[in-house]
Every structure is written in C-alpha cells, then in structure tokens.
Structure 1
C-alpha cells in the first residue's frame, strides 16, 4: 500500500489520512478520548476501550485451551504461549529468567536497575515512569475529593475509586473467577485470586529468586532480607556471642517468613489461608452460611 499521507513533523508516511491524524497525537500530546469512569484520557479510541474494561470487567478474548478470558487480545496470546505452549522466548541477561513477551521482559529488567524516576513532591524514587505518575496521582493529587459515597459520606478523588468502595456497602461482586465460583468487588482482587489457580507469580525477589502472587508479598519478603543484613551487621559490630544451639528454642520453619500481607491493615501471616480468614474482618465476607 502506498504511503501517501506524510507527517509534517517527523516525515513518517501512512496509507490513510485517518492513521496520520491518529499518529500526530503522539507529537501534539492531544488526548481527546475521556474515560467514563475516571479522569484518564487517551490519544486513541482503541486504547480507551481497553482501559474501560478495567472498570467494567469485560473480558471478550477467551483462551483456546482453558476457560480464562482477557481484556486484550495480546494478553490472551501471551497467556496461551506461556501457560499452555511453554513458550518463553525473552530471557533476562542479568538473571536468566525467561519472560513471555518483550513488554514483560522490559518491566522485569527494571527491577535490576537503579530507581531513576524521583517524585518532585517527596523523596520517593521509582524504577518506572508509570509508577511515578501513579504515585503522584494517588498521594499528591487527591486533595480534591469530589466523589462522595452516599452510604457513609467518605469521599474519593476518582469516580472509579468510589464505585469500588460502594460495593463494600452493596455487597456487589461483579468480577467472577474463571476457575471457581468466587466473585470479587474489584478487578485487582480477582487477578490476584486467579493466580492461585494458574500458578502465575509475577513478582520475583532480586536477592533469592523467590516469586510471589502480589507485589505486597514481595515487598514484605524483601524486608526479611534487609533485616537479616541489618542483624548480621549489628552482630559483627558487637562482641555478643550467639546463643548455643542446645539452649536456643527450636525454630518453627512454617512461621519464620510472614509473606502474606493484609492490604487493608498491613498485618502479616505465614499462610495464605490465615490471611484469607483475616481479610473477611475487613470485607465482611461470610462464605459459610
């Protein structure tokens, strides 16, 4: 196809005028497509449609090999290759971990690098620019809370956040697990739960290689490495002798690492089942009636 429509900014050619107009937005920064559920804007209508599925829960693409569904066709393809066909072609040059897509490899490689994106409002730094933008929105730009819950009066910066919160009052759980009868109030909780079925553990420790279902679990786990380093440093600096093994109490290995962290209050548990039972105190879930 002849590329007759040329961008007057970068010289790139396109076969159709509509594609050229869409391309120009990457230069102008124009984002004419607004999300109906939150304040996000997008340059492409297709990108908006994919984003809004995170609010509606729509997952139109079904895996050819299992019952799992996806919001994006590309995500479905990656799942089929990695989960069913065993194809993981993208290898990390630093730790030899194999990833299922170039984007997954790019994100993973950032975990090895320095945190280069610094927040202008506080000392925090981030490995990805998107993480920084999300941090600024959630922490520093939420002074104006215009979305108010009609049940309890709690206010939120975004309509989507209010929508998820209201479900704690109504009991609505629109996100259903593809593998069991469980349902959830938010897409994020569903994704974390479904990983218990698929075995997917996308968050890997850079120190020991152990992987986790949730990022909060990884953060809690990494803190155990930091405490070990700190403890060994303090012990070497002092002349305190270790307690003889004959006197020291036996270590219950099952409870030495509390890797399961409550996202509501930060309390830690050694077992996922213990965390699940505890979480019901916050969610009000009563599965046994």
Structure 2
C-alpha cells in the first residue's frame, strides 16, 4: 500500500484554506464554543459576577418568561397557562417588573428587550442541559477531544447506545443509515464497522460513494482484509481513502443525516452513535470534515 504524495500545490492550497463563513446560526454556535472556556476569566476581569441566588430566581421564573416570549399575557392568562394561583401570578409579575423584564401595556405584561434576551438564554440553558444529559454516553466517550464538538444542534438527535443484551445497537444503527444513503463521508479512529461485516464493506466498495479518513494502521488493516475489493473500489473512483495520524472521534455524513460515534478504547467497539437531520448539525459536520480532510494524506490503491 503506497501513499500518493504527488506535488499538488494548487489543490493543497485550496484544501487548506480557511473555511468559508457558515450560516449566522452556525457561526454563533461556533463562537460560543470558542469563547465558553474563557467566559469565567472575562467575567472575573469585569468584576460584575451575577449572584447564584439571582440566577436561580431567573431560572425559577423560566416558565412565565417562556410564556411571555410567545405573546403578551394578562394575569388571568398567565394563571391559566401555567396553572398557578392568582397570588402566584401576582408574585411572578411583580418580580419580573422589579427586574425590568416586563412592562404592562393595555392590561397585558410584555417582555422588555432585556426580558426577551434573558428569556431566550434561559431556554437555551435548559436545552443545552437536556442535550448534555441525553448525550452523556457520547460526551464521556469523546471527553478528551470534544472541544470542537458542539451540542446545540443535537438537541433532538437519535441516541443509540450499546446495551449488555445488545452491544451492537450503535453499529446496527450506523449500518442502517449507510444502507439508505448513496454517499458516505467521514473519519474514524477505528473501522467504520467491524471488518467481519462483509455485507457492509461490500456496500461501501460497490454501492455507496465513500470518502473516509482513517488512522494509517486502520487503513492498512482494511487492505489486508479486503485487498482486491478495496483496491478495485479505489481504482474505479468509488472509494476514496485518506489517512491522518490523529483523529478525535468518529464522524459520518450521509445523504440526509450526520452522525458522531464514540468508541471503547480497549475493545474498539462503538459504544454510542448519535445522529440527526438538523441543518446546523450538518453544516457543522461538513466544516469539521473539511478541516480534518485538509490535514490528511490521500491513499492510493494497495500496492506496497
């Protein structure tokens, strides 16, 4: 197996160029990911930390803030919407008014600009905490390398985990998505699926247009197991293999979905596979794949 290292200066330059700006939503998510680890330092430097009791009060008023995000409500509507007493709704609105989060217009409570921003951040916080709980198996599996992984677009993702009674559920989920996709792009710290799954590799070699980035020794093992079929698929342009010395986790981009896999370091088995059809998640995955690909080497067919 020989690595093709021909001098392709123009192609390399274009591949290694900075990624073009993404959608405003993706750029916002990425900016949050880049700055979150420094937020504590920035807040400390500003010397204006918000007290934890006050933050707790804001979260406790999350339901009424969320209700007012939809439209202004009078006190009776707040009581019906949240199923609370008149005294409770009065206490809610008084507190929100003291904080400058609402104003009363024509008998209805309406969020101020400040209140709307706070209400949106409370919802974002809840969504991210919920997503972190759902993605716990994945985050635990990739915790050393997940700085570039963003959880926001995976809020409604399908999470498939290995179980004692069925340890291959994540692999089966992945294989089912490959079977229903005409294309597959991605990278992985180990084989996309166990090498013993001959039908899967036949699908990759013959039916699915595939571009995969592997660790060098993983690519070598693939050629050792399927020397003729892998070489023929590469020669036909049906399979593109690239190698990189380090990879963070497993990423797969299908026709309609994107997925991230976490693996057991000792057994190499997929422990969890998380996939979604979210447009921002796809944009993120495309961006990460392009970045990893730009730092990888193309692999020729299996001549030594």
If the length of structure 2 is used for normalisation, what is the TM-score?
A: 0.19
TM-score, structure 1 as length reference: 0.20
Bigger RCO (CA 8 Å, 6+ sep): 2
